[in-house]
Amino acid sequence: MEQPALLSIIRTEASYRFRLDLPDGPIGQEYSTDITPELRERLRRALQTINQTGQHSEVRRQSQTQKFGPTNEALLTLGRFLFDSLLPAPLQETLRRLDSTLLISTNTPDIPWELLYDNSTKSRRYICQALSVGRLLLQDREQTQRGASLDRVTRSKANKRDTQGLSVLFLVNPTSERPTAEEEVASLCTSLPESVTRIILYRQQANQLEMRVRISSEAPHVLHYAGPLPVNTADNEPALALAGNAQLDKGALEQLLQGLPKHPLVFLSYHEEERANRNATGAQHNILDRDEQMERLAGSILAAGAGSVVVQRWPIPASKAREFMMLFYQDIADGVTLGEAMRRARIAMAQHYSDDTSWLSFVLYGDPTQRLVVSTLSNKERQFEQHIDPFDDSQLMSPLLSSGNSPDRRFMKAVLEFALNEARRMHKDYLGTPHLFIALTKLDGGCTQDALRSLGFSPKQVRDVIRLALGSGKATSDTPILPTRRCKEILQTAESNAINAGSSSVDERAIAQAVLSEGDGVTHELLTKLGINPTQLIEMILTSNAHALLELVPSATSNQERAADELQGAINPEAIAKGSNSALEKLGRDLTKQASNKQLPPLIGREKELRQLMQTLMLKDRNNPILIGDSGVGKTTIVAGLAQRIVDGKVPPELRGKRLIELSASSLVAGTKYRGEFEERLLKVLEEAETGGNIILFIDEMHLLIGTGRAADGSIDAAGILKPALAGGRLRCIGATTPQEYRLIEKDAAMERRLRPILIEEPSPEDALVILQGMRDLYEEHHHASITDEALQAAVHLSVQYLPNLRLPDKACSVLDEACSQARVFSIEDESQQQDDLDEIGAQPVITAAMIAEIISSRTGIPVRAPGREERDRLLSLESRLKSRVIGQDEAVKRVAQAIQVSRAGLKPRNRPAGVFMFLGPTGVGKTELARALAAEVFGSDEHLIRVDMSEYMEKHSVSRMIGAPPGYVGYDQEGQLTGKLRRRPHCVVLLDELEKAHPEVFDLFLQVFDAGRLTDAQGHTVDAQHAIWIMTSNVGTDMLGRSMPSGFRASIKGTAEEMQRDRLMDRLRETFRPEFLNRIDDVVIFHPLNQEQTHSITRLQINELAARLLEQGLILHADDSAIDLLCKEGFSQTQGARPLRRVIERLLTVPLSLRILLANIPQNGEVHVSAIDGKLEIDIREPSARVEVPVDAHVEAQT
C-alpha cells in the first residue's frame, strides 16, 4: 500500500512553518510565511465568516467552480486565502502535482486546512476534494520544528473478519438528552447497505458492560457515537458520556478496544438541535473553541487504540448529516479507504448542496489509507453479467440443491435481464427483490399481470409505486450492478420451488412465489400498503392455470416448508438444535429455573403486592399486571419471589407448573441486521410462549417496547406486535417500569388498556430493617464478614436521612454491601499481619455503625457520624462554634442554633425543611458569614452553600430559570438552576440573597418548599428540600435600626426599645411580603450594627487567619493593640459595617508582607512584628528567637 505524503504546519508567534515529506522521498523542504498584522486580520475575518456560516448554514450561492459545481463563496474565499497567502509558492507548485494521500499534522486546530483551494487555471479545486486527506495529532511540536521525520501511521493487515462485511456498533442517546439522535440513527440504519451489520445500544443499554459484551462477540469495525460531545472528566480531560452518569474516558476505552483484532474507526456525530439548545441558554461556544475540544477528544480516542476518528466539528441539519454518513459508510463497506470515502462524500455533498457547508463539518483524524473491510467482490471490478447465474459458484450452492438434475434457467435469466435494466434505469448499484417483481409485472400475458388485474390493480400502477418508494440512486452508467444477498436467496428459493413442483424450468410462478413469500421484504410491505394481500396474490398466480397447479399447490407448500427448514439448517445448524423453546432459551432468562437452583435473592415481606400479582395473573381478561414503582423499591425482587413460590408450590393450582421467563428489549434487538428480523424474532418468542401454555413472560423496563423496532417509515413497533397476544388472553405477561416511564405506555391507549397497574410503594424504614435482617446471612456469607445489629439500623437510618433521592430498600442494601466490601479490602491491607491474626483468632471483619457512617460520608461529602454521644455533643456545641466565626450577633446565632438542634432532635414537623430563616440587618454585619459558617459546621464544608442572587429574578418569567422552562419553551430539556443544584446536594444551606429584589410571584415558588419540603421542576420531577436549611437575607426596614442610635458605634439595645424596634421591622416585612409567605418562616433573625469591641474581635479574627497562612510559610506574626486599633479604624464603616475590613488588611498588611517575602528579605522561621506608629502601620522583621516549635496546624493568636 502506498505511503501518504505528510504536510507539517506549525504556527509560531511570528510565522507559519511548513514542511512536506513525500512518500519514499528525501527529507522534505521547509518553508515559512511571516505573519503580518494585515495577514492576521484577514485570517481572523475569514475564519469568523466560516464560523457564522457553519453555525447558520444560510449563505447564498455566490459562485461556481468548473469541476465540482456551485460552492459557497465563504468557503472559496477562505480556501483561496489559505492557499495563495499562507502557502509559499514552491509548496503550492508541489501540492498541485501531488497525487497521493495527504496527512496534515498541525498545531492549528482552528484552521480548516482541508479547504486549501487552488484557483489556478489548470486545477481550480479543493485539496480535500482532489486528494484523500486526514489529520494527524501533533504530539511533539518541537521535534516537528527541528525537521525530524514523524513516524508513519501503522496499519493492520486484513484478517478473516474483514471479508465478512462492515459491522457498526451504534451508541445512541446514552444520557437520554437527545431523542432526535434516536431518529437520526434509525433513519441512517434503514438507508445503509444490507451488507452492513448494525448493533444498536439505546439509552440505558449504552453502558460499558453492554459495550464489552457486544465488542467481544461482534468485533465491530466502527463505533458510532451519537451523544453529547464532549464531556470533561474530573481531570478536565475530554470523554464520552454513557448511561447512568458514567464516562468513557481514555482508560475505559482502551480496555474495551483491547479485544478487537483491528483498530476500529470511531465516528462522533453532532446534531442541529444541540446547537439550538446551546444558543437558547446563552452559551458563547463557537466553532473555533470546539475544534480544540474535539481535537483533544480525538487524540484521547486514538491513544486508547482507535485506528481513526471522524469528528463532526459543528452541528448541521440532521438530513445532511445522515446523507453524508450514508455516503461514507457505503464506500467503506465496499472496501474503500477512509480518506477516499471522505473525499467522495465531500464531492457528492458539494455537488448536491451548492450553498451548504455540511461537507466541511466532517474531519478525519488518523490514517486516511486505513481500509476497514476487504470487498469480497474485488471492489466491483466484475460486471453483473458474470453473476447473472449465481449457481455457477459452488460456494453459493445449497446442499438442498446439490443433487439431482437442475431445471432450465433460461426463463429466469430473461427475467434477470428485465430486472437489470430496471435497476440501471433507477440508477442503482444493486439488484434487489423489488426489481425482480417489477420485471415479473412487465411479462405481457404473464400470470403476475393477470393476478394483479383480477384484484383491480394496474401492473403499471404497482410498478410506479415501487419505483417511487425506492427512489433514484447515484450510480452512473459505468457503475457495476451486483445482486444483493437476499436476491440470491430468492433465486435459490425459486429454483427450489421449481424442483419441488416437478417443473423442468424455473418459470414465472416459481419466481413469483419466492418473491412474494418473503414476509419481511420491501416488496411484501409495499404491496400490503397498497391493499394487496401477498398471500392471496400467490394463490391467484398459482391458480391461474387450474389444470397445472391443482396438483402443485399441496405438494409445493409442504415441500417448500421442508426445503426452507433444510436450507436454514444448512446455513445455521445451531438455529434448530435447541428444541421447541429455542428462542425463549436463547433470548430469555428462566427465573423458575434459577429459583430452583437458589440463584435468586429472597423476597422478604411484600405479601400484599405478591397477592395482587397472583390475583391479576389468574384473571380471565386483562390478566397482564405491570408493576409501577421507583427504581430500587423491589419490583424485580417481587417477580423473583413469585418464581420461588411457583417452585415451592405455594401458589394457587392455576399457577403451579408455570415457567416464569424474563425477556429484555435489548436481547430482542441484539444481532438483528436486516428488516424484519426483529419482528420475526419477537413473533417467534410470542408463538412459543402461547403454544407452550405454561409460560409467563416478565418484561423489565417495559416502556422500552414503545417504539422499539419501528423504522422511519412508520412501521409497527414491538408494542404493536405484543398487543394482539395480550388482548386475547392467550399470553400472560408481567411488566415493570417507573411512574415517569409509565407515561409512555399511557400515551398508547390500546397498550395501556391491556395492562393492569400494581403500584409498588417504597417500604417504611421499619420494613426495610426487616428486609436487611433477612438478607444479613447472604452478605455475611459473600463477604466473609460479621454484621452487627447497629450496622443494619444505621444503614436504614442514615440512608433515609442522607440519600433522599434513592429508595429503600435498595439504598440501604447498597450502603451495607459497600461497607462490607470496604471492610474486606482494608482487612487485607497488611496481608502478612492479617494472615497471622486470622491464624491466631480466626477473626472476620466486623461491620459497625461507624463503618456505615463512613460510607455515607464518602458518598455525600458530609461528615456523617453514627447516632451516639459524639453526634449529640457536636450538636450541643454548635452555638459556641458558630459564635467563634460570627462576631457580635450572639442573639442571632443562638436562635439559629436552637432551631437546628430542634430539627436534629427529631421534634421538627415531618417533611418540613431543617430550618427556614429570614435574616434582617444592614450590610456588613455577618448575615452571609453566618450562612457560610452554618454550612461548614452542619454539613462539613462551605461548598454545601448554594447561593442564589434574587436580584436576577426581578422579572415574572425568570422563575423558569429556577425550576426549568415549561414544555414547549426553549430550554425545556435543561434542568433548573436551583432544582439541579438541590438535586445533587440535598444536604446544604440555600442562601436567597437580597430577597426583596425578586418579583413577588417568585415567592410563590417557595410556598411548597417551606411547607412540604419539596420542589417540583418543570419536567415533573420532585426534588427533596426537607434536608436543606433555607436562609433569606433582606435589607427591608434596616434603615430604622440606626434612627434611634447615636453617632459613632451603637450601644446595646435592651428591653422595651429592642422589642419596639422588632415590631416596627415586622410591620415593614408585612408590607413587603404576603402573610402566607411569612407564616412559613421559622424565625426572623435581626442582625444589629456592630460596636467598637465587636469590630476589634472581627479584626483579631481576620489577623489570626493571616497568621495561620504565614505559619505555613515558617513565619510567626505578632500584632499589638495599636495595629489592631488602626486596622479597625480604617476598615470599619457605619454604612458598610465590617465588610471593608478585609480589604484594609489586604492593603496595609498583606500586600507589604508579600513583597517582603518575594524579595527574600524575611529570614526563614523569622518573626513579623506589626504595630501602629504615628497613624501608620509599621512592619518589623526579626531573626528567629529561641522558642518551642509550633505545629503548622496549631491555632495562632494575634499578640497584644
Question: Which positions ≥6 away from 1031 have C-beta within 8 Å?
Answer: 915, 917, 919, 930, 931, 934, 989, 990, 991, 992
Which among 122, 110, 118 is positioned nearest to 87, based on CA atoms? 118
Which among 986, 1011, 771 is positioned nearest to 1003, based on CA atoms? 1011
pLDDT reported for residue 65: 38
Q: How far apart are CA 809 and CA 156, in angstroms?
A: 51
Is residue 600 scored above 70 in pLDDT? yes
Average pLDDT of the chain?
74
Q: Which domains does the chain have, with CATH numbers?
A: 5-145 (3.30.420), 161-321 (3.40.50), 382-576 (1.10.1780.10), 582-759 (3.40.50.300), 781-867 (1.10.8.60), 872-1086 (3.40.50.300), 1092-1182 (1.10.8.60)
Least confident of 119-133, 141-155, 347-361, 534-548: 141-155
Question: Which positions ≥6 away from 543 have C-beta within 8 Å?
Answer: 549, 550, 553
Question: Which positions ≥6 away from 23 have C-beta within 8 Å?
Answer: 2, 3, 4, 5, 100
CB 321 within 8 A of CB 312: yes
Mean pLDDT of 655-682: 77
Which DSSP symbol is given to 1?
A: -
Which DSSP symbol is given to 139?
A: S
pLDDT reported for residue 865: 65
Query: Using 50, 70 and 90 to split pLDDT, how confident is the model at 1041?
Result: low
Q: How far apart are CA 929 and CA 936, in angstroms?
A: 11
Mean pLDDT of 879-902: 82
What is the tens place of the pLDDT at every residue in 67-87? Answer: 333 346 777 787 788 888 888
pLDDT reported for residue 1136: 66
- Cα–Cα separations (whole angstroms), residue 432 to 376, 514, 564, 787, 909: 18, 13, 20, 67, 72
Mean pLDDT of 1142-1166: 75
Query: Using 50, 70 and 90 to split pLDDT, how confident is the model at 627?
Result: very high
Q: What angle do the packed helices 410-425 and 508-516 form, to 10 degrees?
A: 50
- Cα–Cα separations (whole angstroms), residue 8 to 5, 366, 490, 658: 10, 14, 53, 70
Which among 246, 289, 250 is positioned nearest to 266, based on CA atoms? 250
Top-confidence residue, 284 or 268 = 268
Query: Using 50, 70 and 90 to split pLDDT, how confident is the model at 828?
Result: low
Is residue 564 scored above 50 in pLDDT? no
Residue 702 grid coordinates? 417495559
Q: How far apart are CA 173 and CA 202, in angstroms?
A: 6
Is residue 628 scored above 80 in pLDDT? yes
pLDDT reported for residue 866: 56
Question: Which positions ≥6 away from 842 have C-beta within 8 Å?
Answer: none
What is the tens place of the pLDDT at every residue in 438-491? Answer: 988 888 778 888 888 888 888 888 888 888 777 777 677 667 787 877 788 888
Amino acid at 668: L
Least confident of 206-210, 215-219, 346-350: 215-219
pLDDT reported for residue 896: 84
What is the tens place of the pLDDT at every residue in 10-53? Answer: 888 888 888 888 876 666 778 888 888 888 888 888 777 766 65
Is residue 575 scored above 60 in pLDDT? no
Percent of the chain with pLDDT over 70: 76
User: Cell numbers 425463549 correspond to what residue?
Assistant: 584
Least confident of 155-169, 310-324, 450-464: 155-169
CB 1043 within 8 A of CB 1068: no
pLDDT reported for residue 520: 62
Top-confidence residue, 1134 or 597 = 597
What is the tens place of the pLDDT at every residue in 1169-1196? Answer: 788 877 777 777 777 664 444 443 433 4
pLDDT reported for residue 259: 60
What is the tens place of the pLDDT at every residue in 513-545? Answer: 888 887 667 788 788 878 888 888 888 888 775
pLDDT reported for residue 675: 66
Q: How far apart are CA 108 and CA 111, in angstroms?
A: 6
What is the tens place of the pLDDT at every residue in 736-785? Answer: 998 888 888 888 888 888 888 999 998 888 888 988 888 888 888 888 88
pLDDT reported for residue 984: 83
Is residue 1055 scored above 70 in pLDDT? no
Top-confidence residue, 588 or 121 = 588
Which among 869, 879, 863 is positioned nearest to 939, based on CA atoms? 863
Least confident of 155-169, 188-202, 1069-1083: 155-169
Mean pLDDT of 1064-1089: 84
Is the pTM higher than 0.75? The answer reads no
Percent of the chain with pLDDT over 90: 1
What is the tens place of the pLDDT at every residue in 216-236? Answer: 667 788 999 888 777 776 677
Mean pLDDT of 264-280: 60
Least confident of 202-211, 391-400, 893-902: 391-400
pLDDT reported for residue 480: 77
Q: Can you tell me whether residue 915 is helix, strand or coil?
A: strand
Least confident of 622-631, 746-755, 796-805, 1152-1161: 1152-1161
Q: Can you tell me whether residue 102 is helix, strand or coil?
A: strand
pLDDT reported for residue 111: 79
What is the tens place of the pLDDT at every residue in 836-846? Answer: 444 444 457 88
pLDDT reported for residue 576: 32
pLDDT reported for residue 813: 92
Please name every residue paired with 1171 in a beta bridge, in sequence order, or none if there are none: 1178
Select, from the ranges 225-234, 369-378, 635-644, the one with the highest average predicted confidence (pLDDT): 635-644
Least confident of 564-573, 633-642, 938-947: 564-573
Residue 1192 grid coordinates? 503548622
Cis omega (within 30 of 0) on the bond before 809?
A: yes
What is the tens place of the pLDDT at every residue in 851-880? Answer: 888 888 888 777 776 555 666 777 788 888
